[in-house]
Amino acid sequence: MSRYDMNREGPTRRDYMKYSGAVVGGSLLAGCAGQSGSEAAPTQTGTGDQSTAEPTTAEDRYAVTMSPMGTVEFESVPQSVFTILGHHVDMLVALGRGGAINAMHAPEYHQSLYQKFLHRLEGVSIDWEGLYSSWPPSKEKLYELDSDVHVADPAKIATAEGWDNNSLQEIESNVGPWFGNTLSGTQQEPPSGWADAYDYYTLWEIFGKIAQVFREGARYEALASVRKSMLQTISAGLPSESERPSAALVLFSTSGEEIWGYKMNHPGYYAAHTRPLGATDALADAVGDGYGDDGRNITLDTELLLEADPDVLLVLGPMAGSHNLDDIRSQLADNEVTREITAVQEGRIYAQGARRQGPILNLFQTEMTAKQLYPNQFGEWPGYVDGDPYPEIPAEEQLFDRQRVADIITGAGQ
């Protein structure tokens, strides 16, 4: 029985509908967080959003295990999905479930960002106009949405104002279960009361668990194979460590008055596209005012950035439409301090997408960063033009097959 089920006196509405919403094998905070999820029944191989729920029997039930929820039992594949953060959104799109999403944090931001990448995947599109912006979530809105599953981390939800264990239990019991993992992004310390239940996963491990919920093991395995092949190519082509550039991953405030730096080789899925590339993190030993995520990120000033002196500067924001890369380049070149940075002098300032990434962004961002860091090994990065899609790259210079990925997501040829 779930910790959240302690006050139940009888079956809830969801006990008679698609989901049991039950968490078995231990409570959310002290349950079987480290166990692997059940692979359950055969994989569904439809075209994602066009799948329909079938009547279920006891034999149809399946269970999936992931921290911090423990083991969650389902009676059918979810058809309507509440979510919040980008990594879960990305996973749902990759599984052909983008149209099932009824909520996400900052839908306009995510739509602007993802359209730039999905432009290169034939037949894959999104339309998130008007979706509920779900952070922090409103309990009343969750009732209204009546989602089959909440692909969101209850430990993260517990940090939002107005949410406690009773609120989490109420939504799980009366609407649908929670199933998500967010704190693995930087292996952030869980909030009070959740530490014993929290295990950290890689990006692709979380994706595999979400795929089990939607019985989409075949799609997961196919996309994981694409990534594995790309990483093998990259690993084989990396220059020796002494020949690798130093790099810094940064975000400039929209006012230009603050700079934030992010650790490129730190554990967690935020660095899933930079860590495999093995570049020297120019900010690895930088000391600034730490903020969030246990100090793994730092607030910089221009002097600290010059002291780090990266050969390559990777800039978050332009691909999401919140910054103009040409303006940033001009500002850095005009500033008497930053103009001395090696990356500025050599013109190696490149756009990045987002740290909170799922499998689709991870494929594209690993490719783009490999080219930005190692053009001699993996081909020149053609550059990003503000407002345009992810740039077109000749097929022979691509590090993964776009058509293959598009076919997996859309179910073409299945």
Contact 318, 324 (CB under 8 A): yes
Using CA atoms, how far apart are residues 19 and 149, in angstroms rounded to an integer? Answer: 8
Q: What is the pLDDT of residues 102-125, one digit of tens each?
A: 999 999 999 999 999 999 999 999
- 294 φ/ψ sector (left φ>0, alpha ψ -120 to 50, else beta): left
In the prediction, which pLDDT does 414 show? 57
Over residues 53-61, mean pLDDT: 60
DSSP-based three-state secondary structure for 32: coil
DSSP-based three-state secondary structure for 160: coil
Measured from the Cβ of residue 406, the count of other Cβ atoms closer than 10 Å reads 16
In the prediction, which pLDDT does 131 show? 97
Amino acid at 270: Y
Burial 64-92 (b: 16+ CB within 10 A, else e): bbbbbbbbbbbbbbbbbbbbbbbbbbbbb
Using CA atoms, how far apart are residues 357 and 88, in angstroms rounded to an integer? Answer: 8
CA separation (Å) from 380 to 314, 329, 374, 377?
15, 19, 8, 9
Determine how β-strand 280-281 pairs with β-strand 297-300: unpaired
Average model confidence (pLDDT) across the chain: 86
Classify residue 243 by burial, with Cβ atoms within 10 Å: 0-12, 13-18, 19+: exposed
Q: Is the pLDDT assigned to residue 408 strictly greater than 70? A: yes
Using CA atoms, how far apart are residues 373 and 356, in angstroms rounded to an integer? Answer: 20
Q: What is the pLDDT of residues 276-323, one digit of tens each?
A: 999 999 999 876 555 444 446 788 889 999 999 999 999 999 998 878
Contacts for 69 with CB less than 8 Å, ≥ 6 apart: 23, 28, 31, 154, 177, 178, 179
Q: What is the pLDDT of residues 192-231, one digit of tens each?
A: 999 988 999 999 999 999 999 999 999 999 999 999 999 9
Nearest to 276 by CA among 181, 393, 367: 367
Measured from the Cβ of residue 16, the count of other Cβ atoms closer than 10 Å reads 8
Using CA atoms, how far apart are residues 257 and 234, in angstroms rounded to an integer? Answer: 36
Over residues 387-411, mean pLDDT: 96
Q: Is the pLDDT assigned to residue 35 strictly greater than 60? A: no
In the prediction, which pLDDT does 316 show? 95
Q: What is the pLDDT of residues 345-357, one digit of tens each?
A: 999 999 999 999 9
pLDDT interval class at 257 (50, 70, 90): confident
Q: Where are the beta strands (DSSP E) in 142-219?
A: 149-151
DSSP calls for 339-401: GGSHHHHTT-EEE---SS--HHHHHHHHHHHHHHH-HHHH-------TTSPSPP--GGG-SS-
| Residue whose tokens read 């790259």 | 393
In the prediction, which pLDDT does 296 show? 64
Using CA atoms, how far apart are residues 250 and 226, in angstroms rounded to an integer? Answer: 28
Q: Is the pLDDT assigned to residue 57 strictly greater than 90? A: no
pLDDT interval class at 59 (50, 70, 90): low
Domain ranges of the chain: 3-84+134-215, 241-410
Q: Is the pLDDT assigned to residue 267 strictly greater than 60? A: yes
- CATH architecture for segment(s) 241-410: 3-Layer(aba) Sandwich (3.40)
Using CA atoms, how far apart are residues 219 and 306, in angstroms rounded to an integer? Answer: 45
Quote the pTM value. Answer: 0.86
Q: What is the pLDDT of residues 333-378, one digit of tens each?
A: 999 999 999 999 999 999 999 999 999 999 999 999 999 999 999 9
Least confident of 42-46, 87-91, 406-410: 42-46
Amino acid at 48: G
DSSP 255: T
Using CA atoms, how far apart are residues 160 and 152, in angstroms rounded to an integer? Answer: 13
Nearest to 205 by CA among 341, 64, 312, 301: 64
Contact 137, 83 (CB under 8 A): no
Least confident of 53-67, 164-178, 221-235: 53-67
User: Hey, what are 106's tokens?
Assistant: 């900052």
Question: What is the distance, to the nearest Å, from the Cα of residue 377 to the centroid of all Cα atoms in its chain?
Answer: 27
In the chain, pLDDT over 90 holds for what percent of residues? 76
In the chain, pLDDT over 70 holds for what percent of residues? 82
Greater confidence (29 vs 104) lies with 104
User: Hey, what are 269's tokens?
Assistant: 């899925």
In the prediction, which pLDDT does 298 show? 85
End-to-end CA distance of the chain: 39
